[in-house]
Amino acid sequence: MITYVFESGHPREGEARTFLRNAVLNTDVKESYRHSGDAFLPKSDAIPLQASDMLAWEWAKCRDETIERPIRPMRKSLLALLQYDPKQYSLNHITGAPLKKFLAQITQLGLQQLEEEQGKTV
């Protein structure tokens, strides 16, 4: 099970809260996300979240400086965080409609798995 923790104060916090509130109303969806709880905390109360902030910042710099406007290779700091080997891994950044489609597919897979676990046919 997963407890989701978000930094409070984000401009889209309300949207995230609405999504979570609706998601947990449906038992199958709640199970597909393995949701056991969620919290919105100030940054000062969630020190471990700063690691994800750092990774997000590094990725945004990579996206800007390496992918969209190729002015430099991937930052060494991001390479170190990822222990990235370009011969072994590829990185993708998905946004907008493709991201929504991907998340819908993941949700469907989770629901199918739940049905299979409950002995139902898919």
Measuring CA to CA, which residue among 119, 120, 122, 117 is closest to residue 32? Answer: 117
pLDDT at residue 120 greater than cutoff 70: no
> Cα separation of 62 and 78, whole Å?
8
Average pLDDT along the chain:
84
* Span 86-97, average pLDDT: 76
pLDDT of 122 reads 46
pLDDT at 69: 86
Query: pLDDT tens, 16-71?
Result: 999 888 888 888 888 888 899 999 999 888 888 788 888 888 888 988 898 888 88
Classified as helix, coil or strand, 77 is helix
CB atoms within 10 A of CB 38: 17
- Structure token pair of residue 122: 């898919």
- pLDDT value of position 27: 87
